[in-house]
Structure 1
Amino acid sequence: MICPKCKSKSNYDFPIFCHICGTFLHNECSNDDCELNNDDCKDKSIQPNDKYCYICGSKTTFNLENYSDIIICPNCKTKIHHEEPSYCHECGALLTNYCSNDDCELNCQYDEKCALDNSDKFCFVCGSETTFKIEGYFSKDI
């Protein structure tokens, strides 16, 4: 499978996330109310090349213009389609990873905190744990 965001090719048969950029790779209907998205239909799937849902006709997640902006909540795994959300609309979890040390240069040299990569467990400047590590997101199955 080729990642729609970074265009890297996966060596795995059925990857869920891109191994390079972390983008969610499961093609689904973007309409949350579509019957294909309820738990009874999880055995049905949209093919990776499908641009529209075969049930309701909505665009698939791979066909959304802002596909690269889809975020998966690290806490509850909800798909979030909003541009630059701060918190998950389902569970309220913080969606941006920061250094937990308020005195870190990364947090002090700008008017607002600098975001770290979502895969960072420790700050690369001061070595403190990140907010995602403190919240326990790395111990959960993503």
Structure 2
Amino acid sequence: MMAESALKAKLVAASALVFLFGSGVVVGLAWDQTVSASTPTETRRGERSERERTRHPMTIDRVGLSAVQKATVDSLYFFYGQRLSDLNTDFQPRFGAVMSDFRAELRQILTEDQRVTYDLLVLEQEADHTSRHRNNRDR
């Protein structure tokens, strides 16, 4: 009986310690997010480059956001935008290699005249894509 209550006390104490430790971790993470977040004042002061201060309109912009919510959306937009940019940097070379292999195999089934036409069309398409991409960056 005495051993049973000692075991219960140890289990309760261990559970309390685990709960306390877990709470400390959660509070620490929340504090870190609060301390490192951009404030609306920082966002308004323009601590970002001109390109970063503007973003494309999003669906969420049409729900009537407060100033704090807009600042949070902007912060999230640029945070995830950077992550997507990093992902795209990793992705583009692999995508380009696959497309190059695909085009090479397509060229093998074409006649010489078709290859010339195809190559011109591909160059035209790439130039158009580059032009559109450049225009989107300048906005």
* Structure of larger gyration radius: 2
Common topology (TM > 0.5): no
Relative contact order: is structure 1 or structure 2 higher (C-alpha 8 Å, sep ≥ 6)? 2
Report which of the two has the higher share of helix: 2
TM-score (ref. length: structure 2): 0.21
